[in-house]
Amino acid sequence: MRVVTWNLWWRFGPWAERRKAILAVLRDLDPDVVGLQEVWSTADENLAGWLAGELGLHWAWAPSPAPEPWQRRIGDATVGIGTAVLSRWPVVERAVLRLPVPGDLDDGRLALYAGLGAPAHRVPFFTTHLTSASHASAVRRGQVAALAGFVARHRSGTGFPPVVTGDFNARPDTEEVRLLRTVPLLDAWDHADPAAPRGTWDTANPYVSRADGEPSIRIDYVHVGPPGPGGLGAVRAVRRAGAGPVAGVWPSDHAAVVADLDDGRPATAAPGTPGW
């Protein structure tokens, strides 16, 4: 089962050109399920809905309840922002958690749960977007604690472990990310090639504003619960995607993370295979 998480940089920059590049990357990846953050919507269109239609996927959407701070940044109060899931399989359950945050930092961050009706097992899939303020580690710790409770409430009734994706706006060595291991959730990147580039907030990306000499960092994650019976949900491989221009256009200010998980089928099967 191929899982992708990707922050799509909302409606910033050359968004009309970028969405074509986003689509091209996702089409090439052929994912089974995608967690998306910073997804834009208008009265006429939703980026997640458009991507789902182009890719032949189901989708679920959770709009931010406090989009005004985002809208002020682009001077357009008609554009919404939210979190979304794209899925090869129907979304049979859905729930939304508004993450706790002090009022001065509240821009409507959410966690979205989608129970996916895969052929052999319901997949408990989550995607989220934590507060981004550099000084807000304590806030993110509270958000991770709330997320852990949210996962616990929706993970039962299936042999497939919970899959938790998103932009955590924190490095792997921070306390808020380490807290996920106590849920317990395992960082899929533990299975990456040690020599592979790992920065999802990459200084090579022209949309990333970093001081000279600051390194690229990893702030986007796929986390998975301990494998189920027979290794169900175990990580087979993980890597970045969308980490360069497509026809001259960088898709987002973030790179995506792609993880291939064991869904009980033979390892020779490929994502996109009928019944996968």
pLDDT at residue 267 above 80? no
Q: Six-digit token pair at 255?
A: 């790179």
What's the token pair of residue 118? 């895969």
What are the tens digits of pLDDT across the range 207-258?
A: 997 655 578 999 999 999 999 999 999 999 999 999 999 999 999 999 999 9
Backbone angles phi, psi at 173, to 5 degrees: -90, 5
Domains of the chain by range and CATH? 2-261 (3.60.10.10)
Condensed to tens digits (0 to 9), the pLDDT of residues 45-63 reads 999 999 999 999 999 999 9
In the structure encoding, which two tokens stand for residue 263, read together? 């869904």
CA dist 255 and 169 (Å) reads 13
State mean pLDDT over 7-11.
Answer: 98
Q: Indicate if the pLDDT at residue 271 is higher than 60.
A: no
Nearest to 186 by CA among 218, 160, 163: 163
96-118 burial: b if 16+ Cβ within 10 Å, else e: bbebebeeeebbbbbbbbbbbeb
pLDDT of residue 264: 83
Find out whether the peptide bond into 184 is cis, omega within 30 degrees of 0. Answer: yes
Are the C-beta atoms of residues 121 and 158 closer than 8 Å to each other?
Answer: yes
Helices within the chain (DSSP H only): 15-29, 47-55, 68-74, 137-154, 175-178
Nearest partner of 244 among 194, 207, 190, judged by Cα: 207
Tokens of 262: 């064991």
Residue 265's pLDDT band, with cuts at 50, 70 and 90, is confident
